[in-house]
Amino acid sequence: MTDYEDITYEVDGPAAVVTINRPARYNAFRGKTVEELIKAFRSAWADDAVQAIILTGAGEKAFCTGGDVKQRAETGDYGPTESGMFEIGNLHKLIRDVPKPVIAAVNGIAVGGGHVLHVLCDLTIASETAKFGQAGPRVGSFDAGFGSAFLARVVGEKRAREIWYLCRQYDAVTAERWGLVNWVVPADRLLDEAKAVAAEIAEKSPTTLRFLKQSFNADTDHQAGLSNLAMSALDLFTHSPEGLEGAAAFAEKRKPDFSKYVNA
């Protein structure tokens, strides 16, 4: 069994439960977190006993708040990794490619890169206390790949642009009405509900589910090219003065001043 620092991984019946375990940072991910998530998803892929994967966050406050902006403000990056790379793009593709349904159990705030993770999952079950939204333009970051293009397929162009341009937070009932989540349950029933759905999935033919997932993905697989382009652009942007201003403002708990970059 692999030892993890930033996540926990357990197999409960037909479900692998992957939990981002950084509650002190609202389950924001650093490079190490992403690397461990990739290992966990690959373990679930290889385990014939696992027929569905549940992704959730530790604690009651947050599912995931995206990249650790404090880490980026402190070191200029998302911290060291075994590979030497920040592999968030590979995690996105893995969530789509793993031939088993992935269920997001959103237990609190899902914003920024955390919002992207739940959108990429096959199903989303939300706690009544869950909040959804984007924060990238507020902190000097963006996801111009799956995080925007695929989101538009899920909720439509107008809603996707609203989510990104305004950086508001939306409650679980609104998210369900928009088709951003499948259904909403009381907070104390969230994980039980996700496991019940995993058990229901386990009653189905795994081969047919694999083909169905690949068929659904085929319509949007071209967005992987956009994701590669977007990640390259983001890497450059986060090291620019404008990107650094967003991270610094977040760490210093002040409003960022992007005024000088309007016509840049």
Instruction: Tell me the per-residue pLDDT of 54-97, one tens digit each, with 9 for 90 and over.
Output: 999 999 999 999 999 888 777 878 888 898 888 999 999 999 99
136 within 8 A of 148, measured Cβ to Cβ: no
Residues forming the annotated binding site for substrate? 78, 109-113, 141, 253
Per-residue pLDDT, 38: 98
In the chain, which residues fall in CATH 1.10.12?
Answer: 204-250
Please list the rounded mean pLDDT of every run of 10 residues in the chain (264 residues).
Answer: 88 98 96 97 98 98 93 80 90 97 98 97 98 93 91 97 97 98 98 98 98 96 88 88 88 91 78
Of 122, 118, 117, 125, the closest CA to residue 99 belongs to 122
pLDDT in tens, 42-58: 999 999 999 999 999 99
Tell me, what's the pLDDT at 2? Answer: 65
Q: Which residues face 122 on adjacent strands?
A: none
Ranges of CATH 3.90.226.10 domains, the chain: 5-201
- CA 248, CA 188: separation in Å to the nearest integer? 36
Q: Give pTM, 2 decimals.
A: 0.93
Sequence-separated (6 or more) residues with CB below 8 Å from residue 144: 226, 229, 230, 233, 234
- Torsional sign, CA 60, 65, 66, 72: negative
What is the predicted pLDDT for the residue at 239?
84
Is domain 5-201 classified as CATH 3.90.226.10?
yes
18 CB neighbour count, 10 Å cutoff? 23
204-250 maps to which CATH number? 1.10.12
The edge-to-edge listing of strands for the beta sheet with 109-111 is 62-64, 109-111, 131-133, 169-171
- % of the chain residues with pLDDT over 70: 99
Q: What is the pLDDT of residue 141?
A: 87
**Contacts (Cβ under 8 Å, ≥6 apart) of 46:** none
Residues 6+ apart with CB under 8 A from 215: none
Phi-psi category of 112—alpha, beta or left, where left has phi over 0 and alpha has psi -120 to 50? left
DSSP β-ladder status, 62-64 and 109-111:
parallel
